[in-house]
């Protein structure tokens, strides 16, 4: 009886309430096929208002799987319907602008690269982390590059970006991790392990002030005690000019995302702090009214997609401002999410993500109205 009484007397604030659902949301299947694992969509809103989605349909669910078919879809009606397309898309953040028409700059880590097994010791001797690939080869993720085009992407020139020695360097979803502040200033968030095969990640930043000619490699967040991991990171410019980084943390389940802030356009960063948002990974988007949206995967029960709003330029995220877009996912708890969102001219929102239902992992979209207005 004493234990039961203690439970009854627990403060209500310690019991997390389920977020309110989004009513009248329109859910659409973009692509799902039995026997394929379709995930990690990249959503871009193009200059003409068209929505473009690209993702890989893989042979297995392994995140190291190289056997993948690239799928592309377009929506010309604000995400209500989607049609397959052969059209590739240029991320709008790559474009330098009117001062240099036709110039595009795209910086990224190389991510997973595949080699024959007999070369494993060669890369391990360099301090680079090597993993087994599902196709019998081995794979490593190291190094960064920048590619540029002067003719709207018809031809490209690529070169390496010098980076300090690391054990692993990984990319995130381009539209979430790439940010152009002006004609010359470009940011790209990356993450990885400073030393091969340690448990936790750090978040870093590629930063250029001369439209991609030279790059700095900066630290956004790292735990010197190696007790917390800072991984996949979305960056966004707030309405007041601050740069906000929202980071996935590990262990994956039972943790909340953390943020860091820069008031000098990404040169230096505040100490990372915990938010009220339980889930990952995030996508930040500054809305037309100056508030900031975060959409993210929720990987505990009920598995789905959630969203939250910040009214103070990403400084605070109140629990009462968390909403649920989907709560009908199934399968492995850690296999769901990676949403990217876009705001339409009428203020409505479209979020694209992957989700497992009935044993099939596919890419789906939700069109929804802003519930915080």
**What pLDDT tens digit does each residue of the chain (373 aa) get?**
434 434 333 333 334 578 999 999 999 999 999 999 999 999 999 989 999 999 999 999 999 999 999 999 999 999 999 999 999 999 999 999 999 999 999 999 998 999 999 999 999 999 999 999 999 999 999 999 999 999 999 999 999 999 999 999 999 999 999 999 999 999 999 999 999 999 899 999 999 999 999 999 999 999 988 888 999 999 999 999 999 999 999 865 568 999 999 999 999 999 999 999 999 999 999 999 999 999 999 988 899 999 999 999 999 999 999 999 999 998 776 689 999 999 999 999 999 999 999 999 999 999 999 999 8
Could you tell me if residue 136 is inside a domain? no
Could you tell me if residue 212 is inside a domain? yes
Distance CA 162, CA 150 (A): 22
Could you tell me if residue 232 is inside a domain? yes
- Residue listed under structure tokens 């309405």: 239
**Residue ranges making up the domain that contains 241:** 19-92+168-368
Residues 6+ apart with CB under 8 A from 190: 108, 109, 144, 169, 170, 171, 172, 177, 203, 204, 205, 206
Q: For the CA atoms of the chain, what is the radius of gyration?
A: 21
Distance CA 226, CA 35 (A): 39
User: What are the tokens at 310?
Assistant: 């910040």
Contact between 271 and 277 (Cβ < 8 Å): no
DSSP alpha helix (H) spans, the chain: 2-8, 120-124, 174-177
What is residue 7's predicted lDDT score, i.e. its pLDDT?
A: 35
pLDDT tens column, 158-207: 999 999 999 999 999 999 999 999 999 999 999 999 999 998 999 999 99
Question: What is the number of other CB atoms lying within 10 angstroms of the CB of residue 355?
Answer: 28
Question: CATH no. for residue 38?
Answer: 2.120.10.10
Could you tell me if residue 13 is inside a domain? no
Contact between 94 and 47 (Cβ < 8 Å): no
Could you tell me if residue 123 is inside a domain? no
- The pTM of this model reads 0.94
For residue 360, list its beta bridge partners: 357
Could you tell me if residue 289 is inside a domain? yes
Could you tell me if residue 71 is inside a domain? yes
Q: Residues 234, 236, 206, CA angle at the centre, nearest 5°?
A: 65
- Strands 144-149, 168-170: parallel, antiparallel or unpaired by DSSP? unpaired
Residue 4 per-residue DSSP state: H
Contact between 332 and 356 (Cβ < 8 Å): yes
Contact between 109 and 143 (Cβ < 8 Å): yes
Could you tell me if residue 157 is inside a domain? no
User: Considering its fold, how many domains does the chain have in total?
Assistant: 1
């Amino acid at each position: 009886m004493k234990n039961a009484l203690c439970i009854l007397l627990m403060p209500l604030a310690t019991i997390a309430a389920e977020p309110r659902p989004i009513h009248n949301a329109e859910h659409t299947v973009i692509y799902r096929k039995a026997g394929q694992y379709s995930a990690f969509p990249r959503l871009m809103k193009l200059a003409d208002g068209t929505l473009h989605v690209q993702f890989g349909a893989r042979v297995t669910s392994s995140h190291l799987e190289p056997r993948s078919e690239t799928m592309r879809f377009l929506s010309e009606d604000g995400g209500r319907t989607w049609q397959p397309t052969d059209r590739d898309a240029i991320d709008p953040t790559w474009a330098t602008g009117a001062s240099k028409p036709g110039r595009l700059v795209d910086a990224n880590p190389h991510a997973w690269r595949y080699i024959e097994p007999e070369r494993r010791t060669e890369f391990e001797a360099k301090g680079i982390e090597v993993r087994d690939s599902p196709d019998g080869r081995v794979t490593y993720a190291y190094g960064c590059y920048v590619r540029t085009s002067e003719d709207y992407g018809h031809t490209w020139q690529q070169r390496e970006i010098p980076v300090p020695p690391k054990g692993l360097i990984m990319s995130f979803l381009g539209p979430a991790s790439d940010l152009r502040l002006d004609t010359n200033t470009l940011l790209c968030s990356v993450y990885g392990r400073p030393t091969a095969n340690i448990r936790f990640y750090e978040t870093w930043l590629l930063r250029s002030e001369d439209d991609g000619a030279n790059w700095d490699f900066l630290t956004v967040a790292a735990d010197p005690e190696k007790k917390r991991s800072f991984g996949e990171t979305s960056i966004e410019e707030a309405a007041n000019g601050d740069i906000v980084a929202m980071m996935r943390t590990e262990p994956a389940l039972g943790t909340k995302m953390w943020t860091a802030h820069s008031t000098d356009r990404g040169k230096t960063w505040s100490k990372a702090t915990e938010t009220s948002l339980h889930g990952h990974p995030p996508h930040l988007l500054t809305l037309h009214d100056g508030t900031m949206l975060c959409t993210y995967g929720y990987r505990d029960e009920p598995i789905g997609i959630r969203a939250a709003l910040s009214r103070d330029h990403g400084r605070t995220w109140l629990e009462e401002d968390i909403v649920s877009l989907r709560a009908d996912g199934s399968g492995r708890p850690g296999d769901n999410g990676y949403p990217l969102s876009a705001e339409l001219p009428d203020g409505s929102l479209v979020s694209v993500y992957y989700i497992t239902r009935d044993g099939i992992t596919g890419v789906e979209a939700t069109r929804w109205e802003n519930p915080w207005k």
